[in-house]
Amino acid sequence: MVIAIIAVLIALLLPAVQSAREAARRAQCINNLKQIGLAVANYESSISMFPPGGITYKQDPVNCAISQRLFTFLDFILAYMEQQPVYNAINFSFPAGGTTENGLPHGGATNHTAFVTRIPSFVCPSDSEQTPFPYGTGPGQSLNGYNQTSYGGMAGTFDIWHWYCGCPPGPPFGGSCPSANDVEIKSDGVFEKEYYYRIAKVTDGLSNTIFVGEASRYRNDPDPQMNFYSRVGWWGSSLNSSTSRPTVLFSAIPRINAAFAPNDTDNYPGQISATGDVDSWMYVASPDYRQLGQFGFRSQHPGGANFLFGDGSVRFLKESIDMGSYNVKDRNPGVYRKLSTAAGGELISADAY
């Protein structure tokens, strides 16, 4: 009888303990995002611009013979997060990973020591652990340095992943390459490739603009090393070459906590940006890009994810946040997409999220 009573008490107590632990993890996650927000603000105070979401090819004019550098906004703010030794260990003259042109030393090996360093403030305590690649050139090894992050920059609502140096593969050029000097597509979010936003350009207001959100691994994630802070881009999943895995920059196209979508290049034809007029993709019900989870923000907190806004505040946005209408005649992109743009000119009620 006594044992049965103890078992009942334990059964009643366990959910409360689990809830308290998750509340503590969520509070630490909020603190991490606030530290990132402070670092971004200090970076802006130092050079009068926010850091770029990522640096890829040499621009103005585009030089595709120069290896992509692939550094991220998280790399650039390390010095403002009490990680000066890590920042000093990065050689920005070489790529963050991969080979270097003209027979120069391998960029990944050059920057390996810096990028295998774990940054505690970049990892949500609710996130599951990633398995770093062992150093080397054998099977399952890498010369590049990788370490985990649970966060990513808001790239807005345009597809900035599937454009390559000098030649966009889809709209608005329909797969042709009209000019060797075409640069990668600009996003409407604060963080994008090759572009530094100034505060004056965030005309929607810092308090109405998402800067950074959670991008944790999925539970039972098939990929052991996603997401990492050192390199920006999108890679093939270990599942198959038809499944994409972006890092560091993410989009408000999918809903929050959308499921991982295998074979996205087969099941989601074209780009996840506009086809035809500038925002028609938002109103396509099939295929439903809201379900393309790996390109969106997600957490291992129940019901939603934490997001850092430009004013330094951190807010928990629910999975159920308004995603707009599929009906193109409504011209309603939804509250979440409105919060993702830096200069969209949208009106958002304070009680809408």
135 Cβ contact list (under 8 Å, min separation 6):
112, 116, 141, 142, 143
Q: Where are the alpha helices (DSSP H) in the chain?
A: 2-47, 73-76, 84-88, 107-110, 112-115, 264-267, 335-340
Cβ distance 336 to 250 under 8 Å? Answer: no
Residue 351 falls inside a structural domain:
no
Cβ distance 254 to 296 under 8 Å? Answer: yes
Total domains, the chain: 1
Residue 347 falls inside a structural domain:
no
Cβ distance 67 to 101 under 8 Å? Answer: yes
The yes-or-no verdict on residue 56 having pLDDT over 90 is no
Q: Which residues make beta-bridge pairs with 148?
A: 228
Residue 1 falls inside a structural domain:
no
> Average pLDDT, whole number, for the chain?
85
pLDDT higher for 18 or 241?
Answer: 241
Residue 348 falls inside a structural domain:
no
Mean pLDDT of 173-194: 59
| Res 275: pLDDT | 43
**pTM (global) more than 0.85:** yes
| Res 289: pLDDT | 87
The yes-or-no verdict on residue 169 having pLDDT over 50 is no
Residue 352 falls inside a structural domain:
no
pLDDT for 107-142, tens place per residue?
Answer: 999 999 999 999 999 999 999 888 778 898 888 889
| Res 181: pLDDT | 41
Looking from the CA of 207 toward its CB, the CA atoms found within 13 Å total: 4
Residue 349 falls inside a structural domain:
no
| Res 191: pLDDT | 94
The C-alpha atoms of residue 190 and residue 342 are separated, in whole angstroms, by: 6
Residue 353 falls inside a structural domain:
no
Cβ distance 119 to 147 under 8 Å? Answer: yes
The yes-or-no verdict on residue 172 having pLDDT over 70 is no
176 Cβ contact list (under 8 Å, min separation 6):
none
Max distance between CA atoms of the chain, in angstroms, equals 81
The C-alpha atoms of residue 217 and residue 212 are separated, in whole angstroms, by: 16
pLDDT for 188-238, tens place per residue?
Answer: 899 988 888 899 999 999 999 999 999 999 988 988 878 999 999 888 898
The yes-or-no verdict on residue 174 having pLDDT over 60 is no
pLDDT for 282-338, tens place per residue?
Answer: 777 788 889 999 999 999 999 999 999 999 999 999 999 999 988 877 888 899 999
Residue 269 falls inside a structural domain:
yes
| Res 276: pLDDT | 42
pLDDT for 75-97, tens place per residue?
Answer: 999 999 999 999 999 999 999 99
Q: Which domain holds residue 194?
A: 6-340
- With vertex at residue 250, the alpha carbon angle to CA 238 and CA 268, rounded to the nearest 5 degrees, is 60
Instruction: State both tokens at 76.
Output: 């650039």
| Res 176: pLDDT | 42
269 Cβ contact list (under 8 Å, min separation 6):
287
Confidence band for 171, pLDDT divided at 50, 70 and 90:
very low
268 Cβ contact list (under 8 Å, min separation 6):
261, 287, 289, 292
Mean pLDDT of 237-252: 91
pLDDT for 27-48, tens place per residue?
Answer: 999 999 999 999 999 999 999 9
